[in-house]
Amino acid sequence: MKLLITGIIILLFHGTTHGQKLSFSPEFVFGNRSFAYQHFVKSDLSEKWSMNNVTLFDTEHKGGDNNIFFIRNTLVYKLNKSYQLNAATGVKNPGAFGTVSAQYKFTKQAFYISYSIGATYQDDVTLEQSISINYSPQITSNTRLYINLFMVSNTDFSTLIRGIQQLRLGITKNKLMTGVAFNFDQFNNSSKTLSNYGIFIKFNY
């Protein structure tokens, strides 16, 4: 129910800001272990400045011991076409955090890659790296193959504090993406690992 209410609020927010430079990408994953909702919202403030929000709620079908949440708000300064600086605050298992990072992006036709590296402070300062790879070649006039890999590594140089891997394989037609999803999460040097696989539905607005 909480996920449903959150989705409605986001859709209402999107509707009230339709006239602004806003992009909104909600995704729903129906998996073997859990149901997950996540979205990416971006608002361009100027040619150089923008803000974005990433939100994830992952709720188990049975019990709630392994529920996952992640909310991050980021202020972005674009240096040029390829490089940008990020400053973010948010909350995730197990609490609030802050991050500063530098990010590189490369796009060529149907291929896109993004890599970021920076420092995150939660209970202590840690090194955080993330990479996103997307390949979407044309299949027909309005259909594309959709392959997306996203990975995050958060470490204190001796222990993997948090690891995330998400893989999506499917097709894109107009603003709708659908296919199979694989999510893998690691906590505390992989002393605790979670996996979730199933189908996903994603929209681009």
DSSP sequence for 71-131: EEEEEEEE-SSSEEEEEEEEEETTEEEEEEEEEEEEEETTEEEEEEEEEEESSSEEEEEEE
9 vs 127 pLDDT, higher one: 127
pLDDT at 11: 45
Report the Cα–Cα distance between both ends of the chain, in Å, rounded: 24
pLDDT, averaged across the chain:
90
How many alpha carbons lie under 13 Å from residue 57 in its C-beta half-sphere? Answer: 12
What average pLDDT score do residues 3-29 get? 61
- What's the pLDDT tens digit per position in 157-194? 889 999 999 999 999 998 999 999 999 999 988 889 99
pLDDT at 194: 95
Q: Using an 8 Å Cβ cutoff, are 40 and 54 in contact?
A: yes
pLDDT at 8: 40
Query: Long-range contacts: 177-180, Cβ < 8 Å, 24+?
Result: 177/146, 177/201, 177/202, 177/203, 177/204, 178/202, 179/146
Residue type present at position 61: H
CATH code for the domain defined by 2-203:
2.40.160.40
Residue type present at position 73: N
What is the reported pTM? 0.86
Q: Using an 8 Å Cβ cutoff, are 144 and 136 in contact?
A: yes
* Residue 5 DSSP code: H
**Percent of the chain's residues with pLDDT above 90:** 79
CA distance 77 to 1: 36
Our CA angle for 90, 44, 150, nearest 5°, is 50
pLDDT at 177: 97
- What's the pLDDT tens digit per position in 89-148? 999 987 899 999 999 999 999 999 999 999 999 889 999 999 999 999 999 989 999 999
Q: Are strands 176-187 and 160-173 parallel, antiparallel or unpaired?
A: antiparallel
Our CA angle for 87, 89, 90, nearest 5°, is 145
pLDDT at 157: 86
The distance from CA 182 to its chain's CA centroid, rounded to whole angstroms, is 14
